[in-house]
Structure 1
Amino acid sequence: MCGRFSLLDPPEEVMSYFGLMELDDFPPRYNIAPTQPILMIIAGETPPPGSNRPDRRALLVRWGFIPGWVKDTANYPLMINARSETAIDKASFKAAMRHRRALIPASGFYEWRRDGKAKSQAYWVRPRNGGIIAFAGLYEPWGNAEGSEMDTGAILTTSSSEDLRFIHDRMPVVIEQKNFTRWLDCKSQEPRHVADLMKPAQADFFEAIPVSEKVNHVANTGPEIQDRVIEPAKQSARGKSYEPEGQLKLF
């Protein structure tokens, strides 16, 4: 799954990577949490005249997907993730899978290795070579009975790459830059046409850095939450020692 992530790259780099014409300024965000605003990139309506850039625009959404048909959110679960393998069949996500696919700019994400039910160790998972990445996302407009409206969104997840399974068995779907247009094209590309993009990242693409419990607290929003701590012994889901072999080593 993905319950926290970061976006540290400056707006001009995000604009360049995603082919945006404009983007409001924003500070580095080290600890983005559910229900907070997140940045999504969606397809526009028509390409700008004389521009060689794709028609894409930025959208701020609430991280926590609410289907348009939900009337009362009081007892509705907070859906921050959607399983890519089943999203097209789920009533909550199938319309968004067909019509409202998005890209979510990120610099990496946090995941916790669990021993039993307790969160035992947090990891900052980032591209080994640095740079921006794009999570696959879905967005949905939602309005309440009083007429208030907002856009909501979720991150699509898939099974973890082999080198990250010692932490968790799920990870965000990462869309490569060469596939942005195909992923965002909801007019000619049905979900079955982009199913091949919803796969684990290549082994060794990410590195996992053990970090302190500071990231557990939403109020902690500074760079210190990404400081490396002494690496604990890796554990499998059953509690046994686990160490990737050869090229699968993370550290």
Structure 2
Amino acid sequence: MRWWLHPSWSPEPPNQRFAMFNSRIETVLTSRAFQGPVRHRRAIIPVSGFVEFKTQGKQKQPFYVQAASGEALAVAAMWECWQNQVWSTTMITQAASVSFAEVHDRMPLSLNAEQVARWMNPEEDVKNLLQELRGQSAELHWCPVDPRVNNARNKEGVVFI
């Protein structure tokens, strides 16, 4: 799947002009691009961790973020297919928890096993479900990584500091 959602109804082929890498839980039900997917094409993106950047002075410091438990995160997501050619996805984000706000103002909507089952159940009322899930998240742990993690010329992988 392509990492940003491209609406099935778009007359234009996928491009980065309206890149929708993430979708905000606050507007997912009102955005034309997300209304269909959130009701009918929900998904889970399993992630072992992700990199988030915090501006410190004039530099962006990357942090590797993972569940404090060390287990994979199950992130609420949606998918779409454009003209039976391009499959795309987006993850749902929400305001950061108090502890994570020191790194970034947004965070993924991560779900536990019971919440995953409800998220994937097409019988669930998505409006009520989103209200219940808002603010939910696995406890996150983060550590700084070498700034080269953001450099495409770096072929060494993630370097922990």
Q: TM-score, normalised by structure 2?
A: 0.89
Shift of 1:82: 0.2
Report what 2:62 is aligned to.
122
**Helix, strand or coil at the partner of 2:102:** coil
Matched, 1:206 2:140: yes
Partner of residue 160 from structure 2, selected from 222, 225, 228: 228
Q: 1:166 aligns with which of 102, 123, 129?
A: 102
Picking from 122, 134, 140, the partner of 2:80 is 140
Equivalent residue in structure 1 for 2:3, among 49, 63, 77: 63
Paired with 2:154 and 2:74, the residues of 1 have a C-alpha distance of 24
Residues 158, 200 of structure 1: 8 Å contact kept: no
Whichever of the two has the greater Rg, that structure is 1
Shift, 1:166, TM fit: 1.2
- Corresponding residue of 2:128: 193
**How far apart are residue 228 of structure 1 and its match?**
2.3
Greater relative contact order (Cα 8 A, min sep 6): structure 1 or 2? 2
Give CA-to-partner distance per residue, 1:76-108, whole Å, 9 cap, x none: 311100001110100010111110111001011
Contact 1:171 1:200 in 2 (8 A): no
Name structure 2 gaps, 5 residues minimum. none
| Preserved CA contact (<8 Å) 1:111 1:122 | yes
Contact 2:93 2:107 in 1 (8 A): yes
- Equivalent position of 2:150 in the other structure: 216
Say which SS state the counterpart of residue 162 (structure 1) adopts: coil
Shift of 1:75: 6.5
Change (3 A) 1:119 1:86: farther
Gaps of 5+ in 1: 1-60, 230-251
Cα distance, 1:115 vs. partner? 4.5
* Cα separation, 2, equivalents of 1:219 and 1:77: 27
Deviation at 1:194, TM superposition (A): 1.2
Q: Match of 1:95?
A: 36
TM-score of the aligned structures, taking structure 1 as reference length? 0.59
CA distance in structure 2 between the partners assigned to 1:175 and 1:142 by the alignment: 27
The amino acid of 2:112's aligned partner reads E
Q: 1:123 to 1:74 in 2, by over 3 A?
A: closer
Kept in 2, the 8 Å contact 1:114–1:120? The answer is: yes
Equivalent residue in structure 2 for 1:109, among 50, 56, 65: 50
Distance 1:201 1:167 in 2: 15
Shift of 1:189: 1.0
Percent sequence identity is 28
What amino acid sits opposite 1:84 in the alignment?
I
Aligned length: 159
